[in-house]
Amino acid sequence: MKYHILKETIVYDGFLKIKQALITHDRFQKDNPVTCTREALDKAGFVAVLLFEKDTDQIILINQFRYPSIENGNGWLLEIPAGGVEKEEGIIEAGIREVEEETGYVLTDLEHIQTCFTSPGITSERMHLYYSEVTQGDKKSKGGGAPDEDEDIQICKYSVKEIHTLLNSEIVVDAKSIIALQWLMLNKL
């Protein structure tokens, strides 16, 4: 199977970047290729970390306002810590930094869960999902977000016994967090 990008332009270049492309690609069922126009949100990957506080048997989630979610919710989402990978930063470094900024916990070890596309029909974004165990003693600062980014993050702890309820009552509706919590149930509990 082959494809050719005939033309590609950036149609929006702000906080987000949107590309438009004229593409020809092979088909599974027909001999002749198809030519179509597609748009994509061109977005770098991000890292997300599921935190398990082993001395209290709790998972650590964050609650924050997410503008795109207001159309189908109240805007605040309960999720695992996550954030973008800076240009001169590795994925592991970004995960450690984001967790410390958002929760105040300092990590020493990350276990890779999965790397995947978040929504390949519309974006190039990939999620790098990790797991880390911490203790209460690993909390070195207040957390709540990076001061220079004016983040407003609430740190929330839940017993691992509550994971099933969090997932089944639709309290956690964020895909990265659902994947991470299901992984935890299958692999660690």
> Are the beta carbons of 111 and 32 closer than 8 angstroms?
no
> Are the beta carbons of 163 and 185 closer than 8 angstroms?
yes
How would you classify the pairing of strands 154-159 and 82-84?
Answer: unpaired
Nearest Cα to 94, choosing from 82, 103, 105, 106? 82
Catalytic residue among 149, 151, 162, 170, which? 149
> Are the beta carbons of 22 and 35 closer than 8 angstroms?
yes
Indicate the residue type of 62: I
Is 149 a known active-site residue?
yes
Indicate the residue type of 141: S
Query: What does the alpha-carbon distance between residue 173 and residue 150 come to, in Å, rounded to a whole number?
Result: 24
Nearest Cα to 127, choosing from 81, 93, 176, 57? 176
The residues carrying an active-site annotation are: 149
